[in-house]
Structure 1
Amino acid sequence: MSSNAAAPAATTNKITSEGVEDRFNELFHSSHVWIEQHWLQILIAIGVATGIYLILAAVKGWGSKLRDQAGDSTGWRTILGRTVAKTGNLFMILVAAKLVVGYADAPPAVDHTVTFLFTIFAVFQAAVWVRELVLGFIEKRTSADDYHGDAITSAMGIIRLFISFAVFAIALVVVLGNLGVNVTGLVAGLGVGGIAIGLAAQGIFADLIAALSIIFDKPFRKGDSIHYDGTSGSIEQIGLKSTRIRSFDGDQRIISNRNLLDKEISNNTRRDHRRQTFPIGVIYQTSPEVCSRIPAILQEIVEEHGATFVRAGFTGFGGSSLDFEVTFDNAGPDYAEFYEKRTVIGIGILKRFNDEGIEIAYPTQMTFTANAAGEAIDPYPASHPEQANDATANTIRGS
C-alpha cells in the first residue's frame, strides 16, 4: 500500500513533455488575458522600458567611448569604461522589463518568468563586471614597462583563467541557490577538488604565487642589479616558476621564485647613493700639527672631485701607523661612475700627500741593539766614529 501510494507522487514530480506543454499553455493563456485587460498599462510600460533601455545603452556607449579615448591604457578611466562597455544587451532588456513589470500588473507566470531570467543574467553580468575590474586593477599594478613581454605576459593568461573560473563558479552557485537548488554538495565538491589540486601541485602554485608577489610587490624588476647570499647579478628574466640572474662574471643563475623571495635581497639599482670608506695610515714620525690637518685635507680632496663628503678623522694607533679614514658618497646607483670616482679620489689623496710631504705608512719593524747592561749601542759604529770612540773608552775604563 505504501509503495503504491508513493508512486503517484513520484510520477507527478517528474518533468514530462506534457507538463512542459501545459506550463507554456498556461503562460500563453495568462499573457493573452493580461494583454486584453491591461493593454494601456502595457503600452505605457513598454514606453518606459524602452526609455530605460535607451538610457542604459547610452551609458554603455559612454563606457566604450571612455575606453577608446583614454590615453592611459591602464588608467582608472579606461578600466571603468571597459567595464561599463561589457554590459550585455539582454541584461539591459531584462533590467527594463523587471522595473516595469510590476506597474503593468503582470500575471504571476509572467512576473516569475521575468524574475527568473533577470536573476540569471544579473548574477552573470555582475561576474563579468567583477572580472573586468579585477583584471584592470592587476594590469594597472603591473603596468611598468619593465614587465611587459616578460613574466606578466605569461602570468596574465593564467590570472585571467583563474579569475574567470572563480567569479563564474561563484555566480553559478548564487544562481542555483536563488533558484532553490541545494548547492551544499556542489560547494563541498568544489572545495574538496580545490584542496586535492592544491596538494598535488603545491610546489608549482608556491612558485606561481611568488611570481605574482614579485609582479605586484615589485621588490625588483628586469634589469635591476641585486645581491643575495653572496651572489650579485642583474635580473635577466622573471618567469612564472623561476628568475634568471646574470652574474657579473657572466654566469646565468636560475633560482625558483619561492626560494629567492625567502632570502634577504639587496637591490643595488634602487640605491640613492653609493658609499666608500678609505682607511689611510701615516708614519709615526708625522708631527701632531700635520696630523691635525689631515681630516681637512681629505675633505678638500673629496669635494674637489665632486663627491659628497661624509666624515674624516683619526681612528687609532696601528701597529705601524697612525690611522685615519675618510668616508664619501657618490650620488646615484651607477656603479661604473662610482668606480671611476673612487679611483680619482684615491689617486688624488696619494698626490696631495706627496705634495704635502706626508708619508703613507706600510708595515715596518725597527731593531735596537743593546749591550749586556741593556744600554742601546750603535750596530754600525763605522758610520758614527765619535760614538765608537766613546764606546772604546768606556770599555777600557770598565776593564
Structure 2
Amino acid sequence: MDAARQFQAMVDESVAWLGDNWLRILIALGAAALIVLLLRAARGWSARLCDRRESGNGWLRIAGATIGRTTNFFIVMAAARLVAGYAALPPLLDRTIGFLFTLAAAFQAAIWAREFILGAIERRTRSDAYHGEALLNAMGLIRLLISCVVFAIALVVVLDNLGVNVTGLVAGLGVGGIAIGLAAQGIFADLFAALAIIFDRPFRRGDNIQFGTSSGTIEEIGLKSTRIRAFSGEERIISNKSLLDKEILNTTRRNHIRVAMPMLISYRTPTAQLEKLPAMVSEIVTEQGATAARSGFGGLRDSAIGFELEVDFPGTDWGAAHAGRDRIVVALLRRFEEDGIEIGLPAQTSYIAGLPEAPAVALRTAKGATNGNLAKHHG
C-alpha cells in the first residue's frame, strides 16, 4: 500500500509539474536532444581523428578507442543531468535522474579505464620486441582481472551513493583478494613480473644479457617464464620473477665492446724502445679500426715488465671484436719482430749445486716447462 500511494503521489506531482512547466520542459527536451547529438558527434569525430593520425597501436589510437567506448546511456544521462536544473524537476524525479547519472558515470569511467589499460598493455605485447603467443593468450586472463577490478570499484561507488554501508563489502573484497592472491601467489608473481618486463623494458627479445653466472640471448618473453638461448647453444628457461630478482647486465645497449689484452715485455728490451712502446701500440690499434682505451705499463714483474692494453671495438658484435683482436695481435707481433722487442715469459731461476769445489750452475726455465734431466757436474 505504501508503494502504491508513493507511486500515485509521484504521478500526481508529475502531472501538476507538466501543467505548470510545459514550456520549460519543451525547451529542456530540445536542449537535451541537442546535447546528445553534439556528444555523439564529438565521440565519432574524436575516434576518427585519432585513428587517422596514429597507425598501429599508438597512444592516439588507444585514446580514440577509449573515446569510442562511450555509451549512449551515459550521453543521455549526462544531457538529462545538464538540463534538469532548468526544467525545475520534482524532487523525486530529480533524485532519480541524479542516481541514474551517477550509475552511468561510474560504469562509464570503469569502461574507459578498462579500455585504456588494456590498450596500453596490448600496445606493449604486440610490439615486435615483446611479441609472443603466451603473452597474447594471457591477455584473456589479464582482461578478466582488470574488468573485475574496475567494475568492482564502480559497483562500490554506486552502492555508496545509494546510502549502503560499503565498509563490510570493501573488507570482504579485500579478504577475498588476499585469499586468491595467496592461493595463486606464484602465478600472479610471474604474471606481474612479465608485465614489469614489458613496461619497464630491462630487456627485449633479441637482447644479450648476463644474469647471475649465466648469459645468453632473449628468445621469448612468456606469461610465466622467459626463454634464453645461451651462447653455448642450449636453451635456458627461467621464471620471470626469478629473472627480475637477479642483477641483469644488458650488453646489447652498449655502443662498444672493451677487450683487455695484457702482455709482458722482456727486461732485455732497450729503454729507447720502451719509451716509444705505449704510443706505438696505440697507433697499431687505431690502424685496425679500434680505440686504445688504455695503453701503458702495468708495473715491474718478477720476470718481465707488465704492459696493460684495453681496446674498445665499435658496435656490439662479439664476432667482429674477436676478429679485430686477432688482427691487433698479429700486427703487434710483426712490429715487435721488426723493432727487436721481446715478449717476456714468466720464468723461474733454479740453482743446482755441484761438488763443493764446483761453482753453482744457474738454469733459467720458462714457467710451465718440464724440467728435464739436469747435467751432472763433476770436479
Q: Distance in 2 between matches of 1:45 and 1:153?
A: 48
Question: What is the SS of the residue equivalent to 2:261?
Answer: strand
Question: Which of 157, 164, 179 pairs up with 2:162?
Answer: 179
How many angstroms does 1:277 deviate by? 1.7
Task: Provide, for residues 48-107 of structure 1, a one-character-per-residue CA deviation record: whole Å limited to 9, x for no partner.
Answer: 111111111121112221242132333332232222211111111111111112212222
Residues 1-399 of structure 1 mapped to structure 2, 5 A cutoff: 22-140=5-123, 144-149=127-132, 152-365=135-348
Question: Structure 1 pair 255/378, CA: closer, same or farther in 2 (3 Å)?
Answer: closer
- 2:54 touches 2:60 (CA, 8 Å); kept in 1? no
Aligned to 2:370: none
Q: Which of 298-307 and 249-258 deviates more?
A: 249-258
- 2:28 touches 2:83 (CA, 8 Å); kept in 1? yes
Q: Distance in 2 between matches of 1:144 and 1:294?
A: 51
Question: What is the SS of the residue equivalent to 1:166?
Answer: helix
Question: What is the SS of the residue equivalent to 1:175?
Answer: helix
- 1:236 touches 1:245 (CA, 8 Å); kept in 2? yes
Question: What is the SS of the residue equivalent to 1:103?
Answer: coil
Question: Structure 1 pair 367/95, CA: closer, same or farther in 2 (3 Å)?
Answer: closer
Question: Structure 1 pair 369/208, CA: closer, same or farther in 2 (3 Å)?
Answer: closer
**Residue type at the aligned position of 1:219:** P
Question: What is the SS of the residue equivalent to 2:233?
Answer: coil
How many angstroms does 1:114 deviate by? 1.5
- 1:273 touches 1:332 (CA, 8 Å); kept in 2? yes
Question: What is the SS of the residue equivalent to 2:263?
Answer: strand
Question: Structure 1 pair 27/241, CA: closer, same or farther in 2 (3 Å)?
Answer: same
Q: Distance in 2 between matches of 1:82 and 1:367?
A: 84
TM-score normalised per structure 1: 0.83
Q: Distance in 1 between matches of 2:321 and 2:2?
A: 86
Aligned to 2:373: none
**Residue type at the aligned position of 1:234:** T
Q: Distance in 1 between matches of 2:322 and 2:15?
A: 90
- Structure with higher Rg: it is 1
Question: Structure 1 pair 219/378, CA: closer, same or farther in 2 (3 Å)?
Answer: closer
Q: How many residues align?
A: 363
Q: Distance in 1 between matches of 2:252 and 2:123?
A: 23
Specify every segment of 5 or more residues in structure 2 that has no aligned partner in the other structure, as ranges.
364-378
- 1:313 touches 1:326 (CA, 8 Å); kept in 2? yes
Question: Structure 1 pair 374/150, CA: closer, same or farther in 2 (3 Å)?
Answer: farther
Q: Percent identity?
A: 52
- 1:30 touches 1:109 (CA, 8 Å); kept in 2? no
How many angstroms does 1:291 deviate by? 1.4
TM-score normalised per structure 2: 0.87
Q: Which of 341-350 and 133-142 deviates more?
A: 133-142
Q: Distance in 2 between matches of 1:282 and 1:48?
A: 94
- 2:51 touches 2:60 (CA, 8 Å); kept in 1? no
Q: Distance in 1 between matches of 2:74 and 2:31?
A: 16
Q: Which of 355-364 and 344-353 deviates more?
A: 355-364
How many angstroms does 1:264 deviate by? 1.4
**Residue type at the aligned position of 1:33:** A
- 2:295 touches 2:308 (CA, 8 Å); kept in 1? yes
Q: Distance in 2 between matches of 1:195 and 1:366?
A: 73
Q: Distance in 2 between matches of 1:97 and 1:223?
A: 55
Q: Distance in 2 between matches of 1:378 and 1:182?
A: 99
- 1:62 touches 1:81 (CA, 8 Å); kept in 2? no
Q: Which of 71-80 and 265-274 deviates more?
A: 71-80
Task: Provide, for residues 154-176 of structure 1, a one-character-per-residue CA deviation record: whole Å limited to 9, x for no partner.
Answer: 44333322221111101001101
How many angstroms does 1:223 deviate by? 1.3
Higher helix residue share: 1
Question: Structure 1 pair 242/141, CA: closer, same or farther in 2 (3 Å)?
Answer: closer
Q: Which of 304-313 and 103-112 deviates more?
A: 103-112
Q: Distance in 2 between matches of 1:294 and 1:134?
A: 62
Q: Distance in 2 between matches of 1:275 and 1:377?
A: 46
Task: Provide, for residues 200-235 of structure 1, a one-character-per-residue CA deviation record: whole Å limited to 9, x for no partner.
Answer: 222222222222211111111111111122211111
**Residue type at the aligned position of 2:219:** E
Question: Structure 1 pair 78/272, CA: closer, same or farther in 2 (3 Å)?
Answer: same
Task: Provide, for residues 27-47 of structure 1, a one-character-per-residue CA deviation record: whole Å limited to 9, x for no partner.
Answer: 444333322222111111111
**Residue type at the aligned position of 1:331:** P
- 1:280 touches 1:324 (CA, 8 Å); kept in 2? yes
Q: Which of 81-90 and 150-159 deviates more?
A: 150-159
